[in-house]
Amino acid sequence: MTTVGILGGGQLARMLALSGAPLGVRFLVMDTSAEACAAQFAPMVVGDYRDEAMLAEFASRIDVATFDFENVPAESARWLSARVPVFPSPRALATAQDRLAEKTLFRELGIPVPDFAPVATRGELDAAVARIGTPCILKTRRLGYDGKGQFRLRAAADVAPAWEALGAQAGKVGLILEAFVPFERELSVVAVRGRDGDFRTWPLTENWHVDGVLSASLAPAAVDAALEATAVAHARALAEALGYVGVFALELFCRDGVLLANELAPRVHNSGHWTIEGSETSQFQNHLRAVLGLPLGDTRLVGRACMLNWIGEMPDPAPVLREAGGHWHDYGKSPRAGRKVGHATLRADAAVELADALRRVGEGLGRQAQVAPVVARLSA
C-alpha cells in the first residue's frame, strides 16, 4: 500500500487524508505540533522541519511527499527530494514563498501584475513610494499570509509608520512594495497538473475576504468566457514554467475587465474547498491523483456552490444541515481568534435556490453580512 507523506498537519492535510481513503492510500504527517488536527486521521511525526534526523525518519516511511502549506522550508523539501519524490517541486515551493520571485515570474510569463519594487532600506522605501505612488502596500517577501506581514500606505505620511512596523524584517525576509489595486472582484483559478502533464482547472471562483481572510467563495464566478479563458491560460503558463505537479491556486484581481495576478498558492486552496461537494472530483483527490501519477478526475461543476469559512469558533451546524445541499466541515481545532476552524458548503442546481439557502443560513446563524455579497451576486 502506498504511503503519502505530508509536511504540515493542518486542515488541508486532514482533508487530503480523508479524500485519499477511498484510493486505499495511507498517510504520514510531519508537523511541529503534536496538536495538529490532521493527526486525528493519520499517524504523525513531530519535529522541526529542518531536523534532518526527523526528515530521514519521515522519508524512510513514505513513498512520495507533498505539503499542506507554503511555509515549509524549501531547503527541507529539497533535502527530502533527494530521497523520495516530492510534489509540487521544491522549486515551485521556493518561488511561491518569495513574493518578489513570484511577481517576477508572473511578469516574465506575460501575466499582468500590479506595479512592485523590492525594498531593503528606508531610502529604497521612500524611492519606491515616490515612483509607485499611494495608496500602496508594504509586505514581507516571505512568511506573510491571510493579511499578516502587511502595512497599507494611504499617503506619504504612512511611510514612517510602515517602516517602523516592518522595517526590522527587511534584513531577515526582505520587503516588497506593491501598488494598491482598487479591484472590483477577487477571483481565483484552482488548477491541477499531473505527472504526465495533463492540465485541468475547476470553474473560476469568486472570493470575498474580511480583514485579509477568506470569508466566502462562489462557484462558478459570473464572468464571460474570454475572461475565464485568460485566467486558465495564466494558470497553464505557470504550471508549465514550473513543471508543476499537483493542485495550485492563482489568486487574481479583476479591474475594468482586466485580470491582475496577486498570489500563487502551491497547494490545495481555501477557495477550492467547495469542490468536495460541488465538483465531480475534489481538489484534494485530484492533488493525490497527481502526486501518485494516477489519471486526473473530471473537474466539472455539479450545480452551483458556495463555501462559507468559519473563523475563530464554530457556529451552530443546524441551519446549514437543514438545507438539502448543506455540508458541514469541522476541522477539530480549538477556538482561537482569527483561526480557520471549519467551513460549510451549500450546493444547489440553480442560482435562485442557492441564494435562498444562503439567506436562510445567514438568518439562522446571525451572519447576514457574510452571505449578503454572495446573495447579491447570485441575484444580479
- In the chain, what are the domains? 3-86 (3.40.50.20), 115-179 (3.30.1490.20), 185-379 (3.30.470.20)
pLDDT at 149: 80
pLDDT at 173: 79
Q: What percent of the chain has pLDDT over 90?
A: 90
CB of 58 within 8 A of CB of 64? no
pLDDT at 168: 77
pLDDT at 132: 94
Strands 150-153 and 175-179: unpaired
Amino acid identity, residue 168?
A
pLDDT at 145: 58
Query: Taking 80 as the threshold, does the pLDDT of residue 171 lie above it?
Result: no
Residues 6 or more apart whose CB falls under 8 angstroms from that of 104 comprise: none
CB of 81 within 8 A of CB of 59? no
Question: Helices H, strands E: what count in the chain?
Answer: 13, 17
Question: Average per-residue pLDDT in the chain?
Answer: 95
Query: Taking 90 as the threshold, does the pLDDT of residue 1 lie above it?
Result: no
pLDDT band at 169 (very low <50, low <70, confident <90, very high): confident
- For 252-265, what is the mean pLDDT? 94
SS3 state of residue 242: helix
- For 122-140, what is the mean pLDDT? 93
pLDDT band at 174 (very low <50, low <70, confident <90, very high): confident
pLDDT at 167: 79
pLDDT at 172: 79
CB of 287 within 8 A of CB of 66? yes
- For 266-290, what is the mean pLDDT? 98
Strands 340-348 and 326-330: antiparallel
Amino acid identity, residue 229?
A
- For 305-334, what is the mean pLDDT? 98
pLDDT at 165: 86
- For 155-170, what is the mean pLDDT? 87
Query: Taking 90 as the threshold, does the pLDDT of residue 176 lie above it?
Result: yes
pLDDT at 70: 87
Of 63, 67, 72, residue with least CA distance to 87: 67
> For 194-324, where are the E strands, in sequence order?
199-201, 205-210, 213-219, 246-255, 258-265, 304-311
List the grid coordinates of 125. 522605501
pLDDT band at 78 (very low <50, low <70, confident <90, very high): very high
Q: What is the pLDDT of residues 192-248, one digit of tens each?
A: 999 999 999 999 999 999 988 999 999 999 999 999 999 999 999 999 999 999 999
pLDDT at 147: 56
- For 134-154, what is the mean pLDDT? 83
